[in-house]
Amino acid sequence: MKMLLAIGALGLAIVPSICAAQGGPGDYKPVTHGRLVNPEPENWLLTKGNYAGWSYSPLNQINASNVSRLRPVWSAATNVGSGHEAPAIVNGRYMFVATPHNQVLAFDSKTGESLWRYRRELPEGFGALHMTNRGVALWGDKVYIASVDCMLAALDAKTGKKVWESQVCDWKTGNAYITSAPLVVNGKVMVGPSGGEFGVRGFLKAFDAETGKELWTRYSVPGPGEPGSETWPQDGRWKDSWKNGGGTMWMPGNYDARNDVLYWGVGNGAPWIGDQRPGDNLYLASVLSLNPNDGAVKGHFQYHWNDSWDWAGMNAPTLVDFNRDGQKVPGLISAQRNGYLFWLDRDANGRIQYRKSLPYVKNTVFKSVDPKTGRPTYNEDAKPSTGKSATYCPSLWGGKDWPYEAYSPNTGMLYVPFNDNHCMKFTGIVQPVAPGQWSAGVETTDIKLVIEKDFPYIGGIQAWSVDGAKEIWRNTYPKSWNFGSILATAGDIIFAGGTNDRSFRAYDARSGKLLWEFPTPSGIISPPSSFAIDGKQYIAVVAGWGVDVAIIQGMMHDQFGWEKAVPEGGSVWVFALGD
């Protein structure tokens, strides 16, 4: 195995000579709409592998009979700390890895040799709640990166040189920042910011991939007179709550290429306390279907109304076809932060209709769910409000936080990284919205993590039959949360990290049996990916513990004596079958 260091102090001027000595990665194949709609199995061109959001690789060389022979081929340090949440994106011999601190690293995906490094220095005075990045996007001969300080940049894929840069949001006065990977559809680069805890009104913006020109903006909270605005206060003390209502669109969406419809998740309410914005509050905690050409809303479904628990709906649902009465029915499936797994129908025009939902972890808030509409009724004792304390389950980190679920068309199962037996308690207060100031409607010191007594586990993986709507198997982690996205493969293997023991694991996708594990220097919270070169399949993952899961680890140490801190520091790992 080659152990390499990221470029670090190496000057870009000497990189070409390094690559030439190794033969180099060769020409860069431009990324087209056709390639993104039908990505080659040997490449990993999108954050979740395909537009449908499956996190699935059609490669099958690695399977249950040989995965135990998986060995590291090369590894490279990223030279930064904090939580690494971006997958390795691969186009032929070019691999791109985004890291915290506004950095993109390019490697030869076969050898691990450094090709270039891009880094945008943070402006003086900048700060953000989550100093991370969830990946790059590809189009043509460019790589697109959204920086935490609200800028979107296009880089030359072969050299890393900046081609253009555009402003997405305003961190100084608007309180927004970006952690999301962009999504490119038909030459439009789309990305939305974070910042719901600071009173940001959520939005998604699209930019021309060649020029960086802003094309459209879609706000997730409608303004006065727009459809949905009637679900916000019209008068009284809270009549302007829509202006700072949250609903940030801080994760990449999915795309129905056949019908040209985007599906994008919408985050939590701002402030967290729902009685400070009475009403259903569209489109908080929802999925929106959008026209990618102008951002127009085509349809929506709201997972829960008047969000009061920081249960963001930011993860776009996975696009699948349900087998129903001998017919293929286009649908959406999603394990949401509120602890329910949702089955939704979709049509060619982007209309979304509720089909069913089931709890996959303990939820103490929903008393019932309307079987026709999916609208829940609430246990008011589990709903925090202004001046009122409440305990609710699951906690604000949800049954599943941002990590990606995976869908395998081979097994017909959805694989969900979950956390259970955890709850939250806080009291609502009124906080002003001001630049750089926390305004979630609760003091940070008052947010209490409550763990179920004698809990048997917290984290784990569940496998659900998509058509059967039932859990098939689960694996649980008695002494760890799970913040790891899942990769499914055609070899009927799923790969996942996410645990505090720093292990990267392979499971039998049909039975859940653990088949292989490998210890990395830090915990893994990035999505794995898979690619092939010269007929050989590789598995890539980026280690680097941090952000929310590190905070949770400290809380579990204080309450239960868990290891206080998991080692941090980023590194890229690439595996293949040994002899």
Q: What pLDDT does 579 receive?
A: 81
Distance CA 171, CA 126 (A): 8
Distances (CA, A) of 275 to 224, 233, 259, 268, 305: 19, 10, 39, 14, 12
Q: What pLDDT does 457 receive?
A: 98
**E-only strand ranges, 134-265:** 137-139, 142-146, 151-156, 162-167, 183-185, 188-191, 203-208, 214-219, 254-256, 261-265
93 pLDDT higher than 90? yes
Distance CA 136, CA 384 (A): 37
Walk across the sheet containing 529-533 and list its strands. Answer: 2-5, 70-77, 571-577, 536-543, 529-533
Other CB atoms within 10 Å distance of the CB of residue 192: 33
Walk across the sheet containing 89-91 and list its strands. Answer: 89-91, 94-99, 103-108, 114-119
CB under 8 Å to 559, separation ≥6 — which residues? 449, 451
Distances (CA, A) of 364 to 29, 30, 225, 367: 51, 50, 35, 8
Are 296 and 261 in contact by the 8 Å Cβ rule? The answer is no
Q: What pLDDT does 2 receive?
A: 56
**381 is a catalytic site residue:** no
CB under 8 Å to 514, separation ≥6 — which residues? 475, 505, 506, 507
The larger pLDDT score, comparing residue 126 to residue 46, is at 46
- What does the block give as tokens for 349? 């025009």
pTM of full prediction above 0.85: yes
Backbone dihedral region of 37: left (phi > 0), alpha (psi from -120 to 50 degrees) or beta? alpha
Q: What pLDDT does 166 receive?
A: 98
Each residue's pLDDT tens digit, 97-125: 999 999 999 999 999 999 999 999 999 88
Distance CA 499, CA 505 (A): 10
Instruction: Give the β-pairing of 422-427 and 389-392.
Output: antiparallel
Tokens 């020109």 found at: 213
Q: What pLDDT does 208 receive?
A: 98
Each residue's pLDDT tens digit, 385-419: 999 999 999 999 999 999 999 999 999 999 999 99
Instruction: State whether residue 390 is helix, strand or coil.
Output: strand
Q: What pLDDT does 18 receive?
A: 39
3-state secondary structure 291-360: CCCCCCEEEEEECCCCCCCCCCECCCCEEEEEEECCEEEEEEEEECCCCEEEEEEECCCCCEEEEEEEEC
Catalytic residue (choose from 108, 149, 310, 420) = 310
Distances (CA, A) of 539 to 155, 354, 414, 571: 25, 36, 20, 14
43 pLDDT higher than 70? yes
Stretch 347-359: mean pLDDT? 98
Q: What pLDDT does 522 receive?
A: 98
Which backbone phi and psi does 377 adopt, to 5 degrees? -105, 155
Distance CA 282, CA 272 (A): 15
235 pLDDT higher than 60? yes
Which backbone phi and psi does 294 adopt, to 5 degrees? -140, 0
Each residue's pLDDT tens digit, 290-318: 999 999 999 999 999 999 999 999 999 99
CATH of domain 168-387: 2.140.10.10
Q: What is the mean pLDDT of the chain?
A: 95
Are 529 and 41 in contact by the 8 Å Cβ rule? The answer is no
Position 492: which residue type? D
Query: What's the N-to-C CA distance of the chain in angstroms?
Result: 13
Q: What pLDDT does 8 receive?
A: 37
Binned at pLDDT 50, 70 and 90, residue 82 comes out as very high
Each residue's pLDDT tens digit, 184-203: 999 999 999 999 999 999 99
Position 174: which residue type? G
| 8-state DSSP, 17 | H
10 pLDDT higher than 90? no
**E-only strand ranges, 68-179:** 70-77, 89-91, 94-99, 103-108, 114-119, 137-139, 142-146, 151-156, 162-167
Smallest Cα–Cα separation from 267: which of 326, 196, 185? 196
Stretch 514-540: mean pLDDT? 98
Q: What pLDDT does 108 receive?
A: 98
Each residue's pLDDT tens digit, 530-541: 999 999 999 999
Are 573 and 504 in contact by the 8 Å Cβ rule? The answer is yes
Each residue's pLDDT tens digit, 466-479: 999 999 999 999 99
Looking at the chain, the whole-number percentage of residues with pLDDT higher than 90 is 93
Looking at the chain, the whole-number percentage of residues with pLDDT higher than 70 is 96
Instruction: State whether residue 214 is helix, strand or coil.
Output: strand
Q: Which run of H or E residues covers position 57? A: strand 56-57
Q: What pLDDT does 127 receive?
A: 86
Distances (CA, A) of 256 to 50, 56, 91, 213, 300: 10, 16, 22, 24, 15
17 pLDDT higher than 80? no
Distances (CA, A) of 438 to 30, 90, 175, 444: 43, 38, 9, 9
Are 531 and 25 in contact by the 8 Å Cβ rule? The answer is no
